Amino acid sequence: MDRLHTPGLRAVVFDVDGTLADTERDGHRHAFNAAFVRHDIGVEWSADEYGRLLEITGGRRRIAAYLRSRGFGDAADGIAARVHRTKTDLFRALVVHGRLAPRPGMRTLVADLVADGVRIAVATTGRRSWVDPLVARLLHGFPVDVVVTGDDVAALKPDPEAYLTALARLGVAAHEALAVEDSANGLHAAVAAGLPALVVTNHYTRDQDLTGAAAVRPAYDEPAQVLAADCRELHRRWWETRAGAALSGG
């Protein structure tokens, strides 16, 4: 990047879970619990326990880590793989039946970004079989140039691979993009890929340490609607601060 000029914003990369929609407590969690029943595992995740388990990204890894912590030992990985296949099918069915609504104000922001000439992409650690139909529903009517899922990467968030893959497919440099996330894991993935991140929190993430975010908001539409101009301003200020620090040797 030219140190004297702040770059323009060309693309916004959205996370899915917790960001485009509140998918976790009443979506993924129900699918995990239904899959545990189908496989007769004798596990049921409460809303609070699931909140703690969200620290582990990726459904299969989440199940395996939980089973190991409950003494399943070497059997944990194999059981987790089978249960997660069932969970993926069940969650896809929830998506296809239209059970998940966009977060309030999210589509208003996307519409404004598109009208302002900003490209839209998605980077998530979820599986493509449900991500594709969910994104098609939540972002219906908008051009979504790139969708990177957990099937496209070797390392899940907080690793930056999903964001780096999205940037490569967009043909956009990190300093020309902004991430929109809901969690500390997602924030760390974006920042490690070189993107500033706007974090729009939810009930599971509002108490997380979100140090390093370009901005943190409790919602898209409160206290005021987030719009493209806000994203451009956040992005400009983020890079101005860094250009200033670089010029002063910081």
Told to judge if 221 belongs to the known catalytic residues of this protein, a careful annotator would answer no
Binding residue (CB under 6 A) for ligand XBP from 25, 109, 110, 186: 186
Cβ proximity of 193 and 174 under 8 Å: yes
Q: Does 51 bind ligand XBP (CB under 6 A)?
A: no
Q: Is the peptide bond before 218 cis (omega within 30 degrees of 0)?
A: no
| CB of 33 or CB of 183, closer to Mg ion | 183
212 contact, one of ligand XBP, Mg ion, none, CB 5-8 Å limit per kind: none
Q: Does 57 bind ligand XBP (CB under 6 A)?
A: yes
The three-state secondary structure class of 31 is helix
Strand spans (E) along the chain: 11-14, 119-123, 146-148, 177-181, 197-200, 215-217
Q: Which stretch binds ligand XBP (CB under 6 A): 68-76, 120-128, 204-212, 233-241?
A: 120-128
* Distance (Å) of CA 18 to CA 21, 204, 239, 249: 5, 9, 26, 38
Q: How far is the CB of 53 from ligand XBP (least distance, A)?
A: 9
Q: Which residue of this chain has its Cβ atom nearest to Mg ion in the complex?
A: 18
Spatial distance between the Cα atoms of 232 and 220, rounded to a whole number of angstroms: 15
Cβ partners under 8 Å of residue 110, min gap 6:
14, 120, 139, 142
* Distance (Å) of CA 224 to CA 108, 148, 169, 215: 12, 30, 32, 14
22 contact, one of Mg ion, ligand XBP, none, CB 5-8 Å limit per kind: none
Q: Does 17 bind Mg ion (CB under 5 A)?
A: yes
Binding residue (CB under 6 A) for ligand XBP from 150, 179, 184, 220: 150
Q: Does 29 bind ligand XBP (CB under 6 A)?
A: no
**Residues near ligand XBP, by CB under 6 A:** 15-18, 24, 28, 57-59, 87-88, 124-127, 150, 157, 183, 185-186
**Residues near Mg ion, by CB under 5 A:** 15, 17-18, 182-183, 186
